[in-house]
Amino acid sequence: MYGVTVRDHMMIAHSFSGEVFGPAQRLHGATYVVDATFRGERLDDDDVLVDIGRATEELHDVLAALTYRNLDDEPDLKGRNTTTEVLAETVALRLVARVRDGAFGDPSPGLSAIVVTLHESHVAWASYEASL
């Protein structure tokens, strides 16, 4: 299995619903380092799984739609606690949609999954894997 990872970051504001979140129920900010790993069993004829430059650009564009936003106001996230897990899923599914819509050009036929990891700190992170 091959893996190509690109990295960016995002800064968001949000709040949580539910006593389990304690003081995080109030509006607060978070900064995440975001890794997107593109996985696949085989390379294309040029020995590439995914173009790293294009993957970097697409990740940046996905994150730009969330960065400096209060996620409580985002229609796509309405009614969900925007936990690190949920945000990893959101970013992964948006990247998958871009691959399927052709934003990556003609990716390797071996590209099979995207794993997004959000690093909340140097000791805590969450990931979501989406199949293609």
Return the closest-CA partner of residue 53 out of 103, 111, 117, 110: 103
Question: Please, which pLDDT band fits residue 15 given cuts at 50, 70 and 90?
Answer: very high
Tokens representing 87 are 């945000």
Return the closest-CA partner of residue 70 out of 22, 16, 7, 125: 16
**Residue ranges of domains in the chain:** 2-131
Tokens representing 9 are 């970051």
CATH number of the structural domain 2-131: 3.30.479.10
Question: Please, which pLDDT band fits residue 20 given cuts at 50, 70 and 90?
Answer: very high
pLDDT tens digits for range 82-99: 999 999 999 999 999 999
pLDDT tens digits for range 97-116: 999 999 988 877 889 999 99
Tokens representing 100 are 């399927």
